[in-house]
């Protein structure tokens, strides 16, 4: 049973009551992420996420963690391009405790200068860890190739320079700008009393009021045709190839996911079968979609021997071209729809995954996408829609790319000198 309502202060709430479980997941979603930042405060959203766990006027950082972990629950958070989410999963008997902890973190966090200075070291190490991961470096590099100077290309973690520049006033001013009820959603999924839920939420979040009414709005960035390289002393060459996608909430989303699955979604996909199984050019290769407000991209990732890169890239481009030209037949469409429905339903078998799905849907689309709605949309995919989406995406071909590895000479040859080095 679903319900979507607003508190008196404008805070949106989505609840899903699941009687047959004994857990409940609660998420506090803020429509704010790295896309809201600029070059001088890049990473501040992620830093603020860390600081909300560092103690309040009534609880130490340890007491926040213990309050949930001592009852067998889990507490965590994440920051993305467009949203920050703080969440707790616990037994259904601890719903009020979960709301108490999240509201305490939101309204009463200390942001002490001492803790801020300590956390700078922690986050700088997180940046170092990300730098040691070629895949992480590749993702940030490819977003630069796709959107260049638009704020959507800024790294979620920020940079060493920006992180070291943050202070208490900067963070509190930033919170005043974006942490407002009108920009936020509470998502609850699991077992709870539907009759008392609104009263309980008013108790913990009803007094949330801000003078600022800076409702988040995002640009509509152009997809660019850049090809970037970053040097890393590693054995493999990691590549990411980009094609046009769709924005979040677009009616073509499920059709595009279906097509991406056929092209590179698993061991039976075209790319896996051709590039890995038949040609033996790589161990890992897959495609996936990234959908944001007003923009989207389809990406193909592969990690391979640099000596095989030219052959592999040509083969990938050929598979994409063949896929776009030949399309799929009705039998493949039916199989792909069943696969997509199966993976979707299996992905909703926990209260936390349902809380994430509902919160994200209300945050960005202001509506609930129930499993029934999603399955109906998948069932409605037909050949006309497949061909229409193919025209707008895969038929455009690879328009941008990023590479992380030792050498770029071969890439220069492949791109006729148009590859740009982004070495630090």
Q: What is the mean pLDDT of the chain?
A: 95
Do 193 and 232 lie in a common domain?
no
Residue 218: inside a domain? no
pLDDT in tens, 85-122: 999 999 999 999 999 999 999 999 999 999 999 999 99
Q: Are residues 276 and 379 in the same domain?
A: yes
Question: Residue 284 carries which DSSP code?
Answer: E
**Based on the domain organization, do 187 and 323 belong to the same domain?**
no
Pair 244, 194 in one domain: no
User: Does residue 28 sit within a domain?
Assistant: yes
In a domain, 219, yes or no: no
pLDDT tens string, the chain, 424 residues long: the values are: 899 999 999 999 999 999 999 999 999 999 999 999 999 999 999 999 999 999 999 999 999 999 999 999 999 999 999 999 999 999 999 999 999 999 999 999 999 999 999 999 999 999 999 999 999 999 999 999 999 999 999 999 999 999 999 999 999 999 999 999 999 999 999 999 999 999 999 999 999 998 877 777 888 999 999 999 999 999 999 999 999 999 999 999 999 999 999 999 999 999 999 999 999 999 999 999 999 999 999 999 999 999 899 899 999 999 999 999 999 999 999 999 999 999 999 888 899 999 999 999 999 999 999 999 999 999 999 999 999 999 999 999 999 999 999 877 777 777 665 778 877 5
Catalytic residues: 49
Q: Where among 205, 235, 258 does a domain terminate? A: 205
Spatial distance between the Cα atoms of 136 and 139, rounded to a whole number of angstroms: 5
Helix, strand, coil in percent for the chain, rounding step 5: 50, 20, 30
In a domain, residue 46? The reply is yes
Give CA–CA dist 343/240, Å, rounded. Answer: 24
Examine the domain organization and report whether 196 and 333 are in the same domain: no
Could you tell me the residue range of the domain that residue 196 belongs to?
Answer: 2-205
Pair 363, 280 in one domain = yes
**Same-domain check for residues 166 and 197:** yes
One domain for residues 125 and 232: no
- Residue 89 structure tokens: 């999963």
Do 189 and 63 belong to one domain?
yes
Same domain, 248 and 285: yes
Residue 212 lies in a domain: no
Q: How many domains does the chain have?
A: 2
Let me know: does 175 contact 49? Beta carbons within 8 Å.
no
156 and 17 both lie in a single domain:
yes
Query: Are 233 and 281 part of one and the same domain?
Result: yes
The end-to-end CA distance of the chain, in Å, is 52
Q: What's the CATH code of the domain at 31?
A: 3.30.830.10
């Amino acid at each position: 049973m679903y319900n979507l309502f607003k508190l008196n202060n404008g805070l949106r709430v989505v609840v899903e009551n699941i009687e047959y479980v004994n857990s409940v997941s609660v998420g506090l979603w803020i429509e704010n992420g790295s896309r809201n930042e600029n070059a001088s405060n890049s990473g501040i959203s992620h830093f603020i996420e860390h600081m909300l766990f560092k103690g309040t006027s009534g609880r130490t950082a340890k007491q926040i963690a213990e309050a949930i972990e001592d009852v067998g629950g889990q507490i965590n958070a994440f920051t993305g391009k467009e949203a920050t989410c703080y969440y707790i999963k616990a037994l259904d008997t601890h719903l009020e405790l979960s709301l108490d902890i999240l509201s305490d973190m939101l309204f009463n966090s200390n942001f002490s200068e001492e803790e801020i200075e300590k956390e700078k070291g922690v986050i700088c190490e997180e940046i170092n860890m990300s730098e040691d991961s070629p895949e992480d470096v590749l993702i940030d590099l490819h977003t630069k190739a796709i959107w260049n100077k638009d704020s959507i290309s800024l790294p979620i973690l920020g940079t060493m320079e920006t992180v070291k520049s943050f202070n208490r006033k900067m963070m509190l001013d930033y919170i005043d700008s974006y942490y407002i009820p009108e920009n936020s959603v509470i998502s609850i999924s699991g077992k709870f009393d539907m009759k008392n839920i609104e009263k309980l939420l008013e108790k913990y979040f009803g007094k949330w009021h801000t003078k600022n009414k800076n409702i988040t709005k995002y640009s509509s960035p152009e997809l660019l045709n850049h090809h970037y390289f970053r040097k890393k002393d590693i054995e493999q060459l990691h590549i990411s190839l980009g094609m046009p996608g769709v924005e979040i909430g677009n009616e073509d989303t499920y059709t595009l996911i279906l097509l991406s699955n056929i092209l590179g979604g698993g061991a039976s996909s075209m790319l896996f079968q051709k590039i890995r199984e038949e040609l033996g050019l790589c161990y890992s290769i897959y495609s996936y979609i990234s959908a944001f407000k007003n923009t989207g991209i389809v990406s193909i990732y592969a990690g391979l021997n640099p000596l095989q890169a030219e052959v592999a890239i040509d083969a990938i481009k050929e598979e994409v071209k063949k896929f776009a030209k030949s399309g799929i037949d009705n039998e493949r469409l039916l199989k792909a729809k069943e696969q997509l429905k199966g993976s979707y339903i299996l992905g909703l078998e926990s209260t936390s995954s349902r809380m994430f799905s509902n919160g994200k849907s209300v945050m960005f689309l202001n509506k609930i996408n129930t499993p029934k709605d999603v399955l109906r949309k998948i069932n409605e995919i037909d050949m006309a829609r497949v061909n229409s989406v193919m025209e707008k995406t895969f038929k455009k071909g690879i328009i941008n790319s990023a590479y992380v590895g030792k050498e770029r000479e071969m890439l220069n040859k492949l791109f006729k000198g148009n590859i740009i080095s982004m070495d630090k």
